[in-house]
Amino acid sequence: MILPDTNILVYAVNLDASQHEACRAMVEAGFSGDLPMVLVPQVLLEVYAILSDPRRVDHPLSPVEAWSQIEAYRAGLSVLDFGGKSLDALAALVGTRLPVAQDIFDAALVAQMRAHGVATLCTYDTRDFQGYPGISAETPEALLKRYRLRRTRRREQ
């Protein structure tokens, strides 16, 4: 299974992002079942926070529009529960990796992946996830190539 990171889902809806085509292709492949993709609530909340924040995007969405995008992702991909297993896995990571400040969020993603047997994270922040045994972090372009999927064409608004 593949977990798309927050940046993938944000770029998938941002037509102005240079990463849009590859990210949109990833999401569409997940929706169609061509890629075994799943989501976790943390990623959905991070997407909402970014899409509705005028400090982070040029054209922020209203809360209703941002939540509508979250609902679209929920309709197309399975959302895994956080649950106790994820907290146990996170506790183990905190004890060994000693994350500080914002690093806890990357550790929480890894913990959720481990709790649910997800081995691949699709992200542009691949360096942030190096050194976690059993977890690979790959860009959309690398995954599309590996699965022999094509990028979508840039869509007009």
In a domain, 51, yes or no: yes
User: CA-CA distance, 106 to 116, in Å (whole number)?
Assistant: 16
In a domain, 156, yes or no: no
The predicted pLDDT at position 148 comes to: 82
Here the tokens at position 19 are: 């990463």
Coil vs helix vs strand at 136: strand
Q: Are strands 38-39 and 78-79 parallel, antiparallel or unpaired?
A: parallel
pLDDT band at 155 (very low <50, low <70, confident <90, very high): very low
Across the chain, which distance is largest between two alpha carbons, in Å?
Answer: 48
pLDDT for residue 156 is more than 70 = no
In a domain, 43, yes or no: yes
Q: What are phi and psi of 25, to 5 degrees?
A: -60, -40
User: CA-CA distance, 2 to 37, in Å (whole number)?
Assistant: 5
The 10s digit of each residue's pLDDT in 80-114 is 999 999 999 999 999 999 989 999 999 999 999 99
In a domain, 71, yes or no: yes
Q: For the domain that residue 125 is a member of, what is the CATH number?
A: 3.40.50.1010
Distances (CA, A) of 94 to 22, 66, 117, 134: 33, 32, 19, 17
In a domain, 153, yes or no: no
Please, what is the end-to-end C-alpha distance for the chain in angstroms?
31
User: CA-CA distance, 10 to 5, in Å (whole number)?
Assistant: 9
User: CA-CA distance, 32 to 149, in Å (whole number)?
Assistant: 12
In a domain, 17, yes or no: yes
User: CA-CA distance, 67 to 102, in Å (whole number)?
Assistant: 24
The predicted pLDDT at position 147 comes to: 86
In a domain, 93, yes or no: yes
pLDDT band at 69 (very low <50, low <70, confident <90, very high): very high
The 10s digit of each residue's pLDDT in 12-32 is 999 989 999 999 999 999 999
The whole domain housing 29 covers 2-146
CA 2 to chain CA mean position, Å: 9
Mean pLDDT of 22-47: 96
Do 93 and 131 contact (CB within 8 A), yes or no?
A: no
pLDDT for residue 151 is more than 90 = no
In a domain, 151, yes or no: no
Structural domains counted in the chain: 1
User: Poorest-confidence range of 4-8, 122-126, 128-132?
Assistant: 128-132
- 8 closest CA partner among 22, 45, 37: 22
pLDDT for residue 157 is more than 70 = no
The 10s digit of each residue's pLDDT in 126-149 is 999 998 999 999 999 999 998 887
